[in-house]
Structure 1
Amino acid sequence: MSMRRPLGLILIALGAFFLTLAPLVRFYVADKVVRAPLNRYQQTRLEAPNASYFDTASFKSRKGVTLVAENTVRGDVRANNGNDDIAVWDSSTEISDKATGKQIEIQGYRIAFDRRTSELVNCCGVHVGGDTSVKMSGYGLLFPLADVHKRDYPFFDMTTRRELPMRFEGEEQVQGIDTYRFVQQVPLTKSAKVDFKVPGGMLGLGKTSKAQKVDRYFTATITEWVDPRTGVPVKHRQNIRSTIQTPDGRGSMTVAAADLVTVDKDQRKLADMADGYALQIALARIWGPIAAVLVGLVLLGIGVAVGVAAGRRTPPAAMKAPRRSDGRFGDVPAGPTPPR
């Protein structure tokens, strides 16, 4: 009896602790867990069969080839100047001819973004191709973490160096994950100046035409299949076309044309990563708080029950008085003795 009351109080205190823990897990712990990692390292391979490009070494166009794009994303933990809210990632892509292994182009850029919202910020030495004067906005490599909706998002295109809408176009299952499909249209844009002249015959101006000054232009259709639970793209498609044109637009030549798609093996790898992040998010935002509430209610209920049981008093058993020699009990007066 004497141990039940303190045991009940202990259980009630534990129940109250777990009930207090639930919102703490949901709004504090979850905020620490649902963030983009600082030290991200990821390699992804894309391939484009039946592509074409201009081989500058032989000065000839190569058609019907398979181009390979090897992309590497690496987080730079020391670049954020100790600001734990900002992640800095470097991305590099090497495009090559699969048959010959000949390197065609190398692309590189650095982004910095808010680890909670995924929105780009301009700090920490961000650049595109070494140009640190570029001002980025919108989103870069990631969609909003664990908060992707069926709407358009502004994404920064690294080739044209401008913000363009990534439009929601439907739902589709990829590697067992129900994804949202987003498409970004990059209009024909002058991407660079060319510091040499190109023979007019190569630009379709006739064999006798003199060499022409040209500029480089770029257009693309970019498609992302995104896991809405995490904001992680599990499949990427980039249908690109790069050309050189004369300033008046009369002459042009295709420099590269390719429809690059993430290979199946890397799609599965990205899907597994998305599933892992989704589990962490669910534990922090849903199952952790629910478990804390249930445990708290159970402990609280048991504690109250134990406390109530301890407070009850069992009535004492009736005490019998000793029998006297005359047959009466206790101190009750005997009264007159009946006549015989």
Structure 2
Amino acid sequence: MKRAALALLAFLGVACIVAAIAIPTYLVPKLKVVPLDLDITSVASTVSADGDAGDRFPATIFDRCSLTKSKAATLDANLTQQRRSVIVDPSDKNQATLQSGQTVQIDRVRDSSGKERDLTMASSDADRKCDDALLNATVDRVSVNRETSAPNGNVSELQVEPIPEGGTVEEASVKLEDRKGFQYKFGFDVQKRDYYYYDTTTRQDATAKFVEEKTIDGVKTYHFVADVPETDLSNLPDPQGDASLGTMLDMPAKWWGIKGRGVKPNDVITMHRYAKATRNVYVEPTTGTIIYGEEDQEQYFKSPDDSADSPAAVRDFRMDALKGRFKWSDATVSQQADRAQGYLNQLRWGGTIVPIILGVLGVLLLLAWALLVWFGRKRGGEPTDDGLAGEPTPDGDGGSEAATPEEQTTVIPGPVAAPYGQYAADDTTVLPATPDESSTQAIPAYDPLTSPMDTSQTEAFSAPADGFGPIPQSDEQPSGYPYPYADPTRPMPDVEQYRQDPDDEEHPGRHER
């Protein structure tokens, strides 16, 4: 039993050490992948550039209703950007496909006269009016390598229109070719260097440059800044291959409000919609989780013709279509910080704490095993099935060697006194040990009533034939003598014939007469 306990002790010690090595080298890398249950929701609202929290209208948007009026107009607004990213098919052990739906909603506006109003959003199956609260909506789908979090090119498309009745997602989407940058999550083990960051508005990769380290909600982050260069949005086609709606406008100069040399009020001026942005992302470096985001978006109408042949009034014209600073809400930051901290705890337990605990436990178990074996050998030998070496045996012998079959004998002493004489002190019967306890023969104790010597070969002790019975017990008669006889003077037998003769091989139990 103790041998089995020692073996179990050694096995557990080795198993703990093996697990301490295997967990950080095999299990932890399995944790460093994009989870297939990823579900990220972020909310960002516009804030003023100077950080004035009391500004209720920190953004500017183009008044779409002014398209039917005599002059273009803009509105002061408060905007909210919502984005939810989830895992969809095709996803497997090697890749994860993220689907990210994003909307920009107009909460309230204020016109040039100072009139304020709240806007509402129509249902998805209803016709939208020019003052609908939905400013923009897209659905981005991209498949990424689960280990690197970088796009793998299998799925990369942007849905910019509602799915037509009876149509498919592909019919409402455009392909995004040569996509390289991160967007919803960075890779693991982020370094202090430049990375690509993908911008879906301009459909291009921008370089995100490392700026600084910063702690946000107790989580260390790396701050990256990506400057998205000015891009003509009319060059980004819709699913039909045409310029997207609202990216090109042909309106009279007076509608645009353009006045100047070489420009007539009714001259049709073509303006394109341009976009540029500056994005600030704060990334937890170990897991690549984006903790906080802030971006300055700017979209505006201007003339695509900046040549010297174009009137200066046209070349210098700018009108805001969307301008605002979007900042993640406190709730979103807290949620992302908790998410990153959860990932960090898993990696910390799997990569550091659990291996240390298992390693220490394994060493202690092996040390205990070694000490028990050493003490056992020191006390007398190898452990046996019945106990450690050197343990006292039932007869008190602590020797390490088992007795040989010749030594395992049973010695039965001869009787101290026989009825008719004394046996020698060394007259003993030695029985050899047998392998099976059940095969031994018991030697009965000497009984004067049943001994053959009393009944078959000795007439002195047989009952008299004349019918005399036992003599009654008396005070002179010693007690304990079982059968006194009427005639004790009868001749006694020759007891010498019953003495043992150890040298007689044919009759070892008697002398020759």
With the shorter chain as reference, the TM-score category is 0.7 to 0.9
1:155 and 1:178 map into 2 onto residues whose CA distance is 20
Q: Distance in 2 between matches of 1:141 and 1:18?
A: 39
Equivalence map 1:1-340=2 (5 Å): 3-49=1-47, 50-59=58-67, 61-76=73-88, 78-80=89-91, 83-99=92-108, 100-101=119-120, 102-124=133-155, 126-127=157-158, 129=160, 130-145=173-188, 147-192=189-234, 193=243, 194-206=247-259, 208-249=265-306, 250=315, 251-313=317-379
TM-score by length of 2: 0.57
Rounded to whole Å, the distance in 2 between the matches of 1:8 and 1:216 is 80
Q: Name stretches of at least 5 consecutive residues in structure 2 with no aligned partner.
A: 48-57, 109-118, 121-132, 161-172, 235-242, 307-314, 381-389, 398-513
1:128 deviates by 5.8
For 1:61 and 1:280, the matched residues in 2 are separated by 53
SS in 2 for 1:122: strand
TM-score by length of 1: 0.85
Who wins on radius of gyration, i.e. which is larger? 2
Q: Distance in 1 between matches of 2:6 and 2:255?
A: 90
Secondary structure, counterpart of 2:270 in structure 1:
coil
**C-alpha distance after superposition, 1:123-182 (max 9, x if no partner):** 13544641125231132321112x012111122222222222111101122122221111
Aligned residues of 2:232 and 2:275 also touching (Cα < 8 A): yes
Would the aligned equivalents of 1:139 and 1:154 in 2 still touch at CA under 8 Å? yes
- Give SS of 1:213's match: strand
Partners of 1:211 and 1:310 in 2: how far apart? 104
Shift of 1:196: 4.0
What is the one-letter code of the residue matched to 1:288? V
The structure richer in strand per residue is 1
**1:209-260 CA-partner distances (Å, limit 9, x unpaired):** 5222222211100000111232111111110000122221413321100100
How far apart, CA to CA, are the structure 2 residues paired with 1:270 and 1:84? 24
Distance 1:73 1:270, change over 3 A: same
Determine which structure has greater relative contact order: mean sequence separation of CA pairs < 8 Å that are 6+ residues apart, divided by chain length: 1
Alpha carbons 2:222, 2:284 under 8 Å: kept: yes
Distance in structure 2 (CA, Å) of the matches to 1:93 and 1:189: 20
Alpha-carbon distance in structure 2 between the residues aligned to 1:165 and 1:86 = 24
What runs of 5+ residues in structure 1 fail to find an aligned partner? Answer: 319-340
Counterpart residue type for residue 367 of structure 2: G
Whether the 8 Å CA contact 1:5–1:310 is kept in 2: the answer is: no
Q: CA deviation at 1:204?
A: 4.7
Task: From the superposition, tell whether residues 181 and 79 of structure 1 become closer, same or farther in structure 2 (CA, over 3 Å).
Answer: same
Distance 1:7 1:275, change over 3 A: same
> Counterpart of 1:327?
none
Matched-pair contact (CA < 8 Å) for 1:4–1:310: no
> What CA distance in whole angstroms lies between the structure 2 residues aligned with 1:65 and 1:114?
39
Q: Distance in 2 between matches of 1:124 and 1:183?
A: 26
Could you tell me which amino acid in structure 2 is paired with residue 86 of structure 1?
Q
How far is 1:293 from its partner?
A: 1.3
Cα distance between partner residues in 2 of 1:155 and 1:277: 22
Q: Confirm or deny: 8 A CA contact 1:139 1:155 kept in the other structure.
A: yes
Give the Cα–Cα distance (whole angstroms) in 1 for the partners of residues 375 and 33 of structure 2.
48
Corresponding residue for residue 331 of structure 1: none
Q: Is the 8 A contact 2:156 2:179 kept in 1?
A: no
Q: 1:180 is paired with a residue of what secondary structure? A: strand
| Structure 1 stretch displaced more, 186-195 or 277-286 | 186-195
Once residues 260 and 46 of structure 1 are traced to their aligned partners in structure 2, the CA distance between those partners, rounded to angstroms, is: 6
Q: Distance in 2 between matches of 1:52 and 1:45?
A: 19
Identity %: 23
Aligned length: 312
> 1 or 2, which has the higher helix percentage?
1
Residues 120 and 140 in structure 1, CA contact (< 8 A), matched pair in contact too: no
Instruction: Answer whether contact 2:283 2:289 (CA < 8 A) is retained.
Output: yes
- Report the residue type matching 1:122 in the other structure: G
Tell me what 1:335 maps to: none
Q: Quick one: distance in 2 between partners of 1:170 and 1:61?
A: 40
- CA RMSD in angstroms comes to 2.2
Tell me the distance in 1 between the aligned counterparts of 2:225 and 2:83. Answer: 20
